């Protein structure tokens, strides 16, 4: 792809941003109470769905668990968007401010600012703890925010964006899900479609520019990012909300064929794309396997 194609895409994305951008402050009725009897993620996507632990929960407890699960997903989203904004701004620093490609990077930061406020507000309204990566994952997040460039930067971005996107596309259409969660999902899906387009094209370009040898380290980082997304989508702390020990809940979720299928399904699109680019390979492959995002084959 030439520079002209790059700016042509960016111009299209800038036009779409002008036409379809949402202010969650205005679009969402934050004062509306939650609807009784509705879930916060589609029940069949709950990490414990179908397990004996799930069978032992009352309907109300199942709803509570999904309330914490959506908070966990949103918490990962905010954490990740904070890293993404830093990466985009660092990349922008070196670019020509008159170029559409550079201007789109800033426009995406503006989208992510609104998203993080929206997710933060939703977590506040859910009344759950703020679940987000901690320990080594938090350290690695800080590290990639400071050093992420090229293929590893755009691949890490895509993994998180496309997994969230797949989950939210389903949630926004599901009538068993709370209207607030559906609205938040809908706003995010519309705006993320542009981000996915931007990151996919940029990633392909960066992979071509990097050449084979230089990608080895990036593949390790990309595998680690996949591992983090797969294993921290649902924070083990969520199980406490229904009286289940976090370690026991996590163990049951990891062994749960329904949840394993949910993870695989959520990663399907991005795994296929990264695989086409040869990025689901090399030293990162064992981490990809442990992420739960790959097919069992």
Chain residues in the site for Fe ion (CB under 5 A): 112, 115, 161, 192, 195
- Complex with Fe ion: residue 62 or 132, whichever CB lies closer: 132
Judged by CB, which is closer to Fe ion: 161, or 174? 161
- Of 224, 232, 221, the closest CA to residue 287 belongs to 224
* Residue 76: CB minimum distance to Fe ion, A: 11
For the CB of residue 199, give the shortest distance to Fe ion in the complex, in Å. 8
Considering beta carbons, is residue 161 or 202 the nearer one to Fe ion?
161
SS (H, E, C) 245-285: CHHHHHHHHHHCHHHHHHHHHHHHHHHHHHHHCCCCCHHHH
Give dist(CA 268, CA 45) in Å, integer. Answer: 15
Q: How far is residue 160 CA from its own chain's centroid?
A: 3
Minimum Å distance from CB 4 to Fe ion?
Answer: 25
Nearer to Fe ion, 87 or 253 (CB): 87
Q: In whole angstroms, how close is the CB of 15 to Fe ion at the nearest point?
A: 18
Q: How far apart are CA 99 and CA 107, in angstroms?
A: 13
Helix 59-93 with 179-210: angle, nearest 10 deg: 40
- The nearest distance, CB 200 to Fe ion, in angstroms, is 12
Is the Cβ of residue 195 or residue 219 nearer to Fe ion in the bound state? 195
Closest contact distance (angstroms) between CB of 160 and Fe ion is 8
Token representation of residue 194: 């542009």
Nearest by Cα to 178 from 36, 11, 21: 36
Least distance CB 249 / Fe ion (angstroms): 27
35: left (phi over 0), alpha (psi -120 to 50) or beta: beta
Task: Give whichever of 118 and 215 is closer to Fe ion, judged by the CB atom.
Answer: 118
C-alpha dihedral, 225 to 142 to 22 to 65, nearest 10°? 60
Of 69 and 161, CB closest to Fe ion: 161
Rounded CA gap, 47 and 257, in Å?
A: 10
The enclosing H or E element of 291 equals helix 285-291
Q: How far is the CB of 167 from Fe ion (least distance, A)?
A: 13
Q: In whole angstroms, give the CA distance from residue 213 to residue 210.
A: 8
- Residue whose CB is less far from Fe ion, 112 or 201: 112
């Amino acid at each position: 792809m030439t520079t002209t194609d790059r700016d042509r895409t960016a111009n299209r994305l800038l036009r779409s941003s002008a036409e379809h951008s949402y202010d969650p402050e205005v679009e969402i009725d934050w004062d509306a109470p939650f609807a009784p009897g509705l879930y916060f993620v589609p029940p069949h996507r709950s990490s414990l769905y179908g397990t004996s632990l799930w069978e032992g929960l009352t309907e109300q407890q199942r709803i509570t668990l999904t309330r914490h699960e959506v908070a966990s997903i949103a918490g990962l989203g905010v954490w990740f968007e904070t890293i993404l904004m830093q990466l985009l701004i660092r990349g922008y620093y070196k670019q020509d401010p008159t170029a559409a490609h550079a201007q789109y990077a800033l426009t995406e930061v503006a989208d992510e600012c609104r998203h993080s406020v929206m997710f933060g507000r939703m977590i506040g309204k859910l009344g759950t703890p703020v679940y987000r990566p901690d320990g080594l994952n938090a350290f690695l997040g800080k590290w990639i925010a400071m050093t992420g460039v090229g293929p590893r930067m755009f691949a890490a971005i895509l993994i998180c964006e496309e997994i969230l996107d797949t989950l939210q596309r389903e949630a926004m259409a599901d009538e068993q899900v709370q209207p607030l969660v559906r609205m938040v999902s809908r706003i995010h899906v519309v705006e993320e479609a542009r981000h996915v387009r931007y990151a996919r094209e940029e990633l392909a370009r960066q992979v071509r520019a990097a050449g084979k040898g230089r990608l080895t380290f990036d593949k390790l980082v990309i595998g680690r990012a996949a591992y983090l997304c797969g294993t921290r989508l649902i924070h083990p702390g969520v199980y406490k909300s229904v009286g289940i020990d976090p370690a026991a809940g996590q163990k049951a979720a990891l062994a749960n064929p329904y949840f394993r299928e949910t993870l695989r399904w959520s990663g399907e699109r991005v795994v296929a794309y990264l695989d086409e680019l040869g990025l689901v390979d090399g030293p990162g492959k064992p981490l990809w396997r442990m992420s739960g995002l790959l097919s069992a084959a």
